[in-house]
Amino acid sequence: MKKIMQTTAAVSSGVLFYNKTVSAEELKPLSKFGLIADIQTADVDDAWNFSKTASRSYRGALQALGRAVDSWHSSGVDFVVNLGDIIDQVNETNGDSRRILALVLQHFSRLDVPVWHLVGNHELYNFTRDELLDLIPGIANNGCMYHDFTPAKGWRAVVLDSYDVHCINNKEASEFTETAFQMLEEHNPNNVRAERGTTNWSAGMSGLDARWVPFNGAVGEIQAKWLKNVVRDSVEKGEKLIVFSHVPLLPGCAARATLLWNYSEILEILDGGNTIAVFAGHDHKGGHAVSPTGTHHVTIPSPLNITGSLDTAHATVELYENSLRLTGSACVPSYELNFTNKASKL
């Protein structure tokens, strides 16, 4: 079989260089998919984030999405995953949620492949869950916002609902709203029931306790049981797992203030299978860390970060037998996620 020497060059900061000899067949990925997170666009001028540490390009984020769709068209992806926060909360304040959502969905509609959308906190600031089901194609599978699918033979993809349990109640309250408030009040001495923007929920919070704030959420008991069954089934079938979650699951891959409330419980479930990678959003800076069992946790930076020539913030992931190749654009680093020697509990 003909051998080809392939060299990867830097696409942006953070790329891992490698040189290796591979077969022509090995160069073809088993699957290729697009990733984007925290588009959070709005028809408002650029502004500082809540902590005044970064400027947000609200209109530019929509333009970055258009460039992402163009890129995925040209590279030929099999599906796309939007990791959540499709529009910003300010649209709800301005009464502009549906118009801005329609602009975002116009870009995604140019794709002729499946597009899966995850639920983030900004979806829930703007819409009820029933509205999300009506307005956003691909935000659920058979009416459920957590589900799984097969991206390639021998692989299982899992989509989590990070806000199964939450206390974002400006649009609606669920049966878990009071439970969520009580969970927060056990760990956070601040007034977590106060209206957004009227108090600093993070005051005095440090370390891993910083995650106990109302803009995060948890995976509920029913979803956790479902996930255990999916992982068990994947083990029986010898499948590798990739996971998509709006809220990050592993300390080190994102700011501690952005972690899932019950991240340790979910990590324990995922460690029961051959979980290769977890892709998340929520933390606009992004990040990457590897768990003790060798699972890669990648947080995708937000298009709100674009500036000047750094005018894109998306990724294309190629899935191979023994690695995942994430090619980032401008604001998003590129990674070669190798798992040949990955530890697991299989």
- Would the pLDDT of 67 be above 60? yes
Neighbours of 272 (CB within 10 A): 17
**Whole-number Å distance between alpha carbons of 247 and 27:** 32
**Whole-number Å distance between alpha carbons of 152 and 33:** 11
- Would the pLDDT of 178 be above 90? yes
Mean pLDDT of all residues in 134-160: 97
Question: Which tens digits make up the pLDDT trace of 218-233?
Answer: 999 999 999 999 999 9
Determine the pLDDT at residue 22.
53
Residue 285 phi, psi (nearest 5)? -75, -25
Per-residue confidence band for 15, with pLDDT thresholds at 50, 70 and 90:
very low
Please say whether the beta carbons of 84 and 128 come within 8 A: no
The DSSP bridge pattern shows strands 155-159 and 147-149 to be antiparallel
Q: Please, is 235 exposed, middle or buried when counting C-beta atoms within 10 Å of its C-beta (0-12, 13-18, 19+)?
A: middle
Percent of the chain clearing pLDDT 90 (strictly above) = 83
**Hey, what amino acid is at 80?**
V
Determine the pLDDT at residue 54.
79
Determine the pLDDT at residue 258.
98
Determine the pLDDT at residue 173.
86
